[in-house]
Amino acid sequence: MSTTTDTWTPTRFGELAGDFDAGTPDGRAPFVLLPGLTFDRTMWRPVVRSLRAVDPGRTTLVLDMPGEGESFGTFRGLDSAIEQLHVAIVAAGVERPVVVGHSGSAIGAMIYATEQPVRGIVNVDAALDTDAFSARIRALEPQLRNGGVPALWDELFPTLHAERSGPVGEAMLRATSRARPDVMLGYWSPLFAGEEAAQNMMSVAITNLRAQATPYTLVFGEEPDASTLRWMGEHFPEATVMALPGSGHFPHVAHSEAFAQILAGLE
C-alpha cells in the first residue's frame, strides 16, 4: 500500500506488519525503517510525514520487528528475525535499501547488512560500545528469566527521556511500548552468551561493514561523550557520527524534520 496520506492501513510483508510507500523509481536508495525493542512502527510516522515534504517520492518501508507491534507472535529467535526481515523486504520489492534502525534494531540492521546487500546503515542512538550494558544484563539474567523483565523495563524507560519528544511524542512512545519478556530475552540472547561472545558479535559486524565500505551514520540524541567518540575513532573511524541534542533516546521523534533532512541527504 502507499502511505501518501495519514491513513495507515496495516499490510503484511511475509510475517511482518508494515507500511509501504512505493515512491518514485529514480535511483535514490529506498529506506527500511525499524523500531527499537518494545516499540512498534508508529514511532516512524513523524519522520515519514517530514520525509514526504523534504524528500518527496522516496521509497519507504516501515516494519514492526518480529514479535513487536502487529508482528506480535512471530518471534522465533534472533537468527530467524534477521531472515524474517529479509523475507519482508523482498516481499515489498525493496532492493539494496538504507536500513534505519532505532536502538536495538540498529544492531539488527548491522547483522542484516553483513548478510544482504544494502546501500547504507543509519543507527539511531545505539552506542556500539555495549560492554557496560551487556554486563548489567548478564548480571540480571537469573531474575530476568524469573519474571523480572517488566520491572527492569520500568526502571530503564525513564532513562530514555521520552518527555524530550514533547507531549504528543511522549504519549505515543508510552502508549506503544510493550515489554514482552520472551521477545526481549530472545533479542538479548547474544548478551547472555558471555562478554567475549557479545564483543565478538559486534566486532565481526563492524569488521564486515568496514570491509564492505558500507556507509554508516550514527545519530545520537545527545552529544556523545569523549569516551564514545574515542571508541568510535578506534573501532569504526569511517562512520559518520552526529547528534540532535536534547532528544534523549528518540532523536527521530523529538526532531523528526531534522532527522528527515539527514535521511534526505543519503543517496
Structure confidence by residue, pLDDT tens digits, 199-251? 999 999 999 999 999 999 999 999 999 999 999 999 999 999 999 999 999 99
pLDDT at 2 over 80: no
pLDDT, the chain, mean: 94
Q: Which amino acid is at 189?
A: S
Give domain limits for the chain.
11-264
Q: Quick one: fold of 11-264? A: Rossmann fold (3.40.50)
Q: Where does the pLDDT of residue 1 fall: very low under 50, low under 70, confident under 90, or very high at 90 and above?
A: very low
Burial class (CB in 10 A: 0-12, 13-18, 19+), 193: middle
| Residue 129 CA: distances (Å) to CA of 190, 221, 236 | 14, 16, 11
Q: How many Cβ atoms are within 10 Å of 205's Cβ, its own excluded?
A: 20
Structure confidence by residue, pLDDT tens digits, 162-177? 999 999 999 999 999 9
Straight-line distance from the first to the last Cα atom of the chain, in angstroms, rounded to the nearest whole number: 24
Structure confidence by residue, pLDDT tens digits, 215-227? 999 999 999 999 9
Query: Side by side, which strands form the sheet with 16-21?
Result: 11-13, 16-21, 60-63, 31-34, 98-102, 120-124, 216-220, 240-243
CB 223 within 8 A of CB 245: yes
How far apart are the C-alpha atoms of 113 and 190, rounded to whole Å? 18
Residue 18 pairs with which residues in a beta bridge? 11, 63
Structure confidence by residue, pLDDT tens digits, 43-78? 999 999 999 999 999 999 999 999 999 999 999 999
Q: Where does the pLDDT of residue 104 fall: very low under 50, low under 70, confident under 90, or very high at 90 and above?
A: very high
Greatest alpha-carbon pair distance for the chain in Å reads: 52
pLDDT at 92 over 70: yes
How far apart are the C-alpha atoms of 15 and 13, rounded to whole Å? 6
pTM for the model = 0.95
Structure confidence by residue, pLDDT tens digits, 31-51? 999 999 999 999 999 999 999
Structure confidence by residue, pLDDT tens digits, 112-139? 999 999 999 999 999 999 999 999 999 9
pLDDT at 4 over 70: no
Residue 40 has a pLDDT of 97
Residue 194 has a pLDDT of 87
Overall average pLDDT of the 172-196 stretch: 94
Q: Following CA atoms 178, 179, 184, 188 in sequence, which dihedral angle do they give, to the nearest 10 degrees?
A: 110
**Which residues have CB under 8 Å from 152's CB, separation 6+?**
140, 144
